[in-house]
Structure 1
């Protein structure tokens, strides 16, 4: 009797495992598909003083180079100002933390111009709108989580000397 019970339990366990295999397979497939999922980050640029020049933005996925070395950015773009608020879209991003640095490049030279004291003469902004006191923010203070099909953020431009 005891032997028959052991065989019955073992058979039931095997049958249960066989029933679970398709479910487990689908779960692993969905997890793998999610890793390949791509997202867009839409940046709404508010606070433009005028529509002269361009908005230049750099997207970083790590602190290396943030915020001023656009060569180390994951993506960079400059667009003519056509609307208020101006929109920029970074496409095909994996889910994760990113930071955006942008400038209102009024003279369209591709750099944040400053005076002889190093104070910016053009508008600038960062994702997460961190408080700027004595210099640019650290990556972690500007980082935002990108997840889902589209993540929308708002960046408020700051002008220290006119603009």
Structure 2
């Protein structure tokens, strides 16, 4: 009987920990938007889908140069966020003919090199706690 109780207790703890791990949140805040015009678009990626279809996407209005989104129900793992200032509300990042961006953008960890963000520069880890990030354009 003690063995059965021990097995049930272990199973319940394992299931509870698994469910909790799926309920992490990521709060991303862009702190230096140059105007309150438009919105900021955010995309959450893992290494497999980086810069392709995001795991989650969101947009947020800008108030006093700041924009905040919360990604919910995020499992433990490595992630990266890319965001951009959609000044004209057309739901896409605009580029010049030569490929240079016309709208400000940023990524988690605030590493900005020439060219698009790289996963290794922007990655962060979620284990069992919620994460808050400040992103600068």
CA distance in 2, matches of 1:127, 1:63: 17
- Partner of 2:11 in structure 1? 28
- Partner of 2:70 in structure 1? 89
CA distance in 2, matches of 1:150, 1:143: 15
Give unmatched runs, 5+ long, in structure 2.
none
- Partner of 2:45 in structure 1? 60
Q: Is the alpha carbon distance of 1:123 and 1:32 closer, same or farther for their aligned partners in structure 2, counting shifts above 3 Å?
A: same
Q: Would you say how many aligned residue pairs link Structure 1 and Structure 2?
A: 135
SS of corresponding position for 1:28:
helix
- Determine which structure has more spread, i.e. the larger CA radius of gyration: 1
CA distance in 2, matches of 1:152, 1:130: 17
Higher helix share: 1
What TM-score results when the alignment is normalised by the length of structure 1? 0.73
- Offset at 1:30? 1.5
Greater shift after overlay, 147-156 or 96-105?
147-156
- Offset at 1:55? 0.4
Give unmatched runs, 5+ long, in structure 1.
1-17, 158-163
- Offset at 1:35? 1.3
User: 1:44·1:88 contact (CA, 8 Å) conserved in 2?
Assistant: yes
User: 1:53·1:106 contact (CA, 8 Å) conserved in 2?
Assistant: yes
CA distance in 2, matches of 1:28, 1:83: 49
- Offset at 1:62? 3.0
What TM-score results when the alignment is normalised by the length of structure 2? 0.85
- Partner of 1:112 in structure 2? 93
- Offset at 1:131? 3.0
User: 2:76·2:127 contact (CA, 8 Å) conserved in 1?
Assistant: yes
Which portions of structure 1, spanning 4 or more consecutive aligned residues, are displaced by more than 4 angstroms?
18-21
**Structure 1 residue 48 corresponds to structure 2 residue 33:** yes
User: 1:99·1:126 contact (CA, 8 Å) conserved in 2?
Assistant: yes
